[in-house]
Amino acid sequence: MSHPAQRRWYPLAFAVAALVLLPLSVLLLSWGEIDREIWSHLWQTQMPRLIGNTITLVLGVGVGVTLIGVSLAWLTSLCEFPGRRWLDWALMLPFAIPAYVLAFVFVGLLDFSGPLQTLLREWFGSGLRMPRVRSTGGVIIVLVLVFYPYVYLLARNAFLAQGKGLMEAARVLGQSPWQAFWRVALPMARPAIGAGLALAIMETLADFGAVSVFNFDTFTTAIYKTWYGFYSLTSATQLASVLLLAVMLVLYGERRARGAVRPSNERQRGAALYHLKGGKAFAASAWCGLVFTCAFVVPMLQLLSWFWQRGRFDLDERYTALILHTLYLGSIAAVLTVCVALMLAFARRMTPTRLMNSTVGLANLGYALPGSMLAVAIMLAFSYLDREMVIPLSNWLGGSGKPILLGSLGALLLAYLIRFMAVAYGPLENSLARIRPSLPEASRSLGVGGVGLFFRVYLPLLVPGALSAALLVFVDVLKEMPATLLMRPFGWDTLSVRVFEMTSEGEWARAALPALTLVLVGLLPVVGLIRKSARRYGQ
Amino acid sequence: MQLNKQLFAALSLTAFAGAAQAADEVVVYSARIDELIKPVFDAYTAKTGVPVKFITDKEAPLLARLQAEGENTPADMLITVDAGNLWQAEQQGVLKPLKSSVIDANIPAQYRSSTGSWTGLSLRARTIFYSTERVDPKELSTYEALADKNWEGRLCLRTSKKVYNQSLTATLIETHGAEKTEEIIKGWVNNLATDVFADDTALLQAIDAGQCDVGITNTYYYGRLHKDNPNFKVKPFWPNQADRGVHVNLAGAGVTLNAPHPEAAQKLLEWMTGEEAQGLFAGLNQEYPANPKIEPSAEVQAWGTFKADSIPVEVAGKRQAEAIMLMDRAGWN
């Protein structure tokens, strides 16, 4: 049915999909027995509220990240206003702050016993009534502030890649900036915005850390409650597979709705298209500045203040090892994941069959599950492999007959690969789709094919996408907690492990030191990437 | 062929730096965090030369990993910070029943498993804390009395998803039966001053700040806050002194069923229940040593003495699921 040269991509794609399906099948196998008591209890006392909460949360976060992400991307990529130059990259920085950190910073800062309300009570008396911080609105705001960078980054790249030509054409044709935005820029950026939104929604559905700081019950908290409280890992995995189904629907909807990415000719971006003046310029600066302040400046100041009060007494030589472990895991996982995702993206481009599409889709599902559930599923899968394959093989080879997967660095890296494949795949697929098929065809006709074609034609065009992908994975691995906790080799504590240990004891002030270090380590590549992409677009 | 095999084995070992094990060491899965456990292990290594390796995580993932690894587990010991999870580990059959005259002599029977599968190492009282500004301790008497009308809008609780509250409710069910307990819990929920908290520390700070007047938390959270701020306007109250006593939970440990180093692990565990280790183990976290021969730290003693509930702590595990369902019905989120 397909060309033989195309068929050779199948084994690779199947292998990657199998790796991801291994833990997912652990979830499906859990349906063998059903604990009726737990299910009927959950259904009668919990589910209606939890499902309601979850839907509210997803809608709130979805609308919030789209509004903020798209508006910021539009302003910083096509307009000129005071502060645009640094806001352009500064608005990416909140991506380095993990959701659970922003959550405890906000609650710690703004709740009744926090410094702000205490100060206000001192000024205005104890009768002062403030809005509740630990509320639905509070969770939504926090999650929007941590997840908007997904939409911002992808939308910004899309707006920049559209080039000025189209927008100028729109202007010549008498369109106002608003009309040009609605009729030209937005429809063209829709696939990128959809991809960013899908990532943000998957993160929201899977989030456990931030919602538990607010004690906001969602479907995911019910999964944990079933596991930790009722000790029923089986029922918990069943719930998780229901969640997975919901996520697959979201993803399917997103794929259907967004249509294909159009190839485009990227052009140098010269001066900004719209020079905002007066009130408009002020409003643009104020809006971008407000988001940056809430999402980054305030949390960093609060972390610094806690660090000064408590954290500095914990700072010792152990932090060198923590930082090195964190960097090591993050960078290897980033390189590994980007390479595998790139191969998948190529497989799908070279072999655009229905089978390949579904295989690649499956390989990207790891992101959709709550971290701990996926971690435990991967752990179960690896221990199964150890038991059924590694140990017999090791015995046959005259080895020690000991398990080597679980508890090894390799297994942890594979876990990251499974979890963050989608994060790397999105940007790579997007940049690959922008390359017109005519380009490699022309190269072939000029005698450049195979490996040469990849290195001389594709790679230079893919570098920005690959860097974005590597950055996203790197920062995500830094922030990752449950798989690192469960599968790290002895002695491989990371910064996020330290944050976990402090927050699990409710010691937010002391968690500030590892959290702050984590953010700073994550910021380095963010800044590097932004500078690079800024240069590329000739600013 | 043989060469190829060796090469293959060597390669796979490099990629997955194996879990090769030294002859004399102890490997621990610990739900007690690094800074509250490492000094104890360091002291043991300094004394005996036996290295102790460990990873930390929550109980449920550690238990899942122990179960999944089965007889291939590298872990010799499991440490948890509550009795319910130890009971559960015992039910899942991942712990080895021990006969140790040392442990039996060191730790009272109510703080050990009846099968010898695990033992408590430190006690954590979950008691009532009150605002020194707005509450006269004479108003306080029992956990049950916090359900009375006069506490309406004054009580703070932590989420029912925390195992400490599940254990407390389990012992209430054991004492009063489900019906009466549900009444009490509904009374508590009715008296809440604000949404339940995600952790005990935030709850104590809320009492200090004036958001609520009383709450139920573990003593060591108070110990940390009080140490940082001696003017903290909150004090502990020991309830139910006229009847069963203060609810206690424990941090404890058991040797795993498939421990690669069972003797070494048992020696470590026995040492941890002894005089040398008990003061250190409990003192790190301002807890009460499970070995009654050892006095708690001076700071902890300053909070006063109390009668502890004599109910076997195993009840926390046995009735945990029942307790959660009851709390859900009563609207304790």
Q: What is the pTM of this model?
A: 0.88
What's A316-539's CATH class? mainly alpha
CA distance B88 to chain A (A): 8
**What number of other Cβ atoms are within 10 A of residue A261's Cβ?**
19
Averaged over A221-247, what is the pLDDT? 88
Q: What is the pLDDT of residue A505?
A: 85
**Cβ–Cβ gap B198/A213 under 8 Å:** yes
Locate A444 and state its tokens: 């072939």
Looking at the complex, does the CB of residue A450 fall below 8 Å from at least one CB of chain B?
Answer: no
Within 381-400 of A, beta carbons closer than 8 Å to B belong to: 383-384, 386-387, 391, 394, 397-400
B-chain residue closest to A375, CA distance: B61
pLDDT grade for A530, boundaries at 50, 70 and 90: low
**Cβ–Cβ gap B60/A228 under 8 Å:** yes
Cα–Cα distance measured from residue A152 to residue A150, given in angstroms and rounded to the nearest whole number:
6
Let me know if the fold of B25-123+248-297 is the same as that of B124-247+309-330. Answer: yes
Q: Nearest 5°: phi and psi at A94?
A: -55, -20
Closest listed residue to residue B53, CA positions, set A67, A410, A258, A490: A490
Interface test with A, best of B57, B159, B227 (most A CBs within 10 A): B57
Looking at the complex, does the CB of residue A103 fall below 8 Å from at least one CB of chain B?
Answer: no
Asked whether residue A446 carries a pLDDT value surpassing 70, the answer given is: yes
Nearest CB among A376, A397, A501 relative to B9 is that of A397
Looking at the complex, does the CB of residue A133 fall below 8 Å from at least one CB of chain B?
Answer: no
Contacts of A482 in chain B (CB under 8 A): 61
Closest listed residue to residue A311, CA positions, set A101, A499, A513: A513
pLDDT in tens, A288-341: 999 999 999 999 999 999 999 887 888 888 888 999 999 999 999 999 999 999
How does A456-469 read in b/e, with b if 16+ C-beta sit within 10 Å?
Answer: ebbeeebebbbbbb
Nearest CB among B68, B70, B88 relative to A379 is that of B68
Contacts of A229 in chain B (CB under 8 A): 161, 163, 166, 320-321, 324
Within 28-47 of A, beta carbons closer than 8 Å to B belong to: 41, 45-46
Averaged over B6-14, what is the pLDDT? 51
Cα–Cα distance measured from residue A238 to residue B95, given in angstroms and rounded to the nearest whole number:
27
Q: What is the pLDDT of residue A533?
A: 61
CA distance A396 to chain B (A): 9
Portion of chain B with pLDDT greater than 90, in percent = 86
Q: What is the pLDDT of residue A531?
A: 66
Q: What is the pLDDT of residue A2?
A: 47
Integer CA distances (angstroms), B222 to A486, A526, B205, B237, in order:
30, 40, 9, 12
Locate B265 and state its tokens: 């692990």
Q: Domain ranges in chain B?
A: 25-123+248-297, 124-247+309-330
Q: What is the pLDDT of residue A535?
A: 55
pLDDT in tens, A498-522: 998 888 888 888 899 999 999 998 8
Nearest CB among B12, B69, B194 relative to A406 is that of B69
Binding site residues of B for Fe cation, as ranges?
A: 220-221
Choices 3.40.190.10, 3.30.420.10, 3.30.70.1450, 3.30.1360.200: CATH for B25-123+248-297: 3.40.190.10
Question: A–B: how many Cβ contacts below 8 A?
Answer: 170
CATH superfamily of A30-304: MetI-like (1.10.3720.10)
pLDDT grade for A439, boundaries at 50, 70 and 90: confident
pLDDT in tens, A239-279: 888 888 888 887 787 777 766 666 655 554 555 678 888 88
Interface test with A, best of B55, B168, B220, B261 (most A CBs within 10 A): B55
**Cβ–Cβ gap A485/B61 under 8 Å:** yes
Contacts of B325 in chain A (CB under 8 A): 41, 45
Nearest CB among A227, A400, A408 relative to B60 is that of A227
Q: Nearest 5°: phi and psi at B140?
A: -95, 145
Q: What is the pLDDT of residue A284?
A: 95
Gyration radius of chain A over CA positions: 24
Looking at the complex, does the CB of residue A404 fall below 8 Å from at least one CB of chain B?
Answer: yes
**Cβ–Cβ gap A225/B161 under 8 Å:** yes
Integer CA distances (angstroms), A185 to A171, A388, B67, in order:
12, 54, 54
How does A2-28 read in b/e, with b if 16+ C-beta sit within 10 Å?
Answer: eeeeeeebbeebbebbebbbbbbebbe
Closest listed residue to residue B112, CA positions, set B252, B231, B2: B252
Cα–Cα distance measured from residue A261 to residue A355, given in angstroms and rounded to the nearest whole number:
20
Chain centroid, CA A407 distance in Å = 25
| Residue of A454 and B187 predicted with greater confidence | B187
How does A62-82 read in b/e, with b if 16+ C-beta sit within 10 Å?
Answer: bebbbebbbbbbbbbbbbbbe
Looking at the complex, does the CB of residue A486 fall below 8 Å from at least one CB of chain B?
Answer: yes
Averaged over A120-127, what is the pLDDT? 84
Question: Residue holding tokens 């034609």?
Answer: A457
The identity of residue A529, as a single letter, is L
Averaged over A71-79, what is the pLDDT? 91
**What was the ipTM of the complex prediction?**
0.85
**Cβ–Cβ gap A112/B194 under 8 Å:** yes
Q: What is the pLDDT of residue A1?
A: 43
Q: Share the mean pLDDT of chain A.
A: 86
A-chain residue closest to B157, CA distance: A215
Asked whether residue A3 carries a pLDDT value surpassing 80, the answer given is: no
Contacts of A405 in chain B (CB under 8 A): 16
Contacts of A216 in chain B (CB under 8 A): none
Closest listed residue to residue A383, CA positions, set B33, B61, B85, B91: B61
Asked whether residue A188 carries a pLDDT value surpassing 60, the answer given is: yes
Asked whether residue A449 carries a pLDDT value surpassing 90, the answer given is: no
| Residue of B326 and A3 predicted with greater confidence | B326
DSSP conformational letter for B250: E
**Cβ–Cβ gap B57/A397 under 8 Å:** no
pLDDT in tens, B203-260: 999 999 999 999 999 999 999 999 989 999 999 999 999 999 999 999 999 999 999 9
Asked whether residue B168 carries a pLDDT value surpassing 80, the answer given is: yes
Q: Domain ranges in chain A?
A: 30-304, 316-539
Q: What is the pLDDT of residue A265?
A: 53
Looking at the complex, does the CB of residue A175 fall below 8 Å from at least one CB of chain B?
Answer: no
Cα–Cα distance measured from residue A466 to residue A470, given in angstroms and rounded to the nearest whole number:
6
Asked whether residue A19 carries a pLDDT value surpassing 60, the answer given is: yes
| Residue of A234 and A271 predicted with greater confidence | A234
Locate A55 and state its tokens: 């839907």
Cα–Cα distance measured from residue B254 to residue B244, given in angstroms and rounded to the nearest whole number:
28
Contacts of B328 in chain A (CB under 8 A): 41, 45-46
**Cβ–Cβ gap B198/A214 under 8 Å:** yes
Q: What is the pLDDT of residue A506?
A: 84
Question: Residue holding tokens 């090769």?
Answer: B20
Instruction: Give burial (CB, 10 Å; 0-12/13-18/19+) of B134.
Output: middle
Nearest CB among A398, A408, A488 relative to B55 is that of A488
How do strand B155-156 and strand B119-131 relate by DSSP bridges?
Answer: unpaired
Asked whether residue B140 carries a pLDDT value surpassing 90, the answer given is: yes
Asked whether residue B21 carries a pLDDT value surpassing 50, the answer given is: no
Interface test with A, best of B7, B16, B80, B217 (most A CBs within 10 A): B16
Question: Which CATH code is given to the segment(s) B124-247+309-330?
Answer: 3.40.190.10
State the number of CA atoms in the 13 A half-sphere of A14 facing the CB. Answer: 6
CA distance A383 to chain B (A): 6
Nearest CB among A386, A399, A506 relative to B201 is that of A506
CA distance A315 to chain B (A): 13
How do strand B214-218 and strand B119-131 relate by DSSP bridges?
Answer: antiparallel
Averaged over A77-105, what is the pLDDT? 90
| Residue of B23 and B136 predicted with greater confidence | B136
Locate B231 and state its tokens: 């003017």
A-chain residue closest to B37, CA distance: A501
Portion of chain A with pLDDT greater than 70, in percent = 93
Percent helix / strand / coil, chain A, rounded to 5: 80, 0, 20
Looking at the complex, does the CB of residue A259 fall below 8 Å from at least one CB of chain B?
Answer: no
Contact A294, A145 (CB under 8 A): yes
Asked whether residue A209 carries a pLDDT value surpassing 60, the answer given is: yes
Rounded to 5°, the CA angle B254-A233-A104 comes to 85
B-chain residue closest to A121, CA distance: B209
pLDDT in tens, A345-359: 999 988 888 888 888
Cα–Cα distance measured from residue A417 to residue A332, given in angstroms and rounded to the nearest whole number:
10
Portion of chain A with pLDDT greater than 90, in percent = 31
**Cβ–Cβ gap A404/B13 under 8 Å:** yes
Alpha helices by DSSP H, listed for A131-232, are: 136-172, 177-180, 186-206, 209-213, 219-224
Asked whether residue B60 carries a pLDDT value surpassing 60, the answer given is: yes
DSSP conformational letter for B109: G
pLDDT grade for B202, boundaries at 50, 70 and 90: very high
Nearest CB among B15, B206, B324 relative to A112 is that of B206
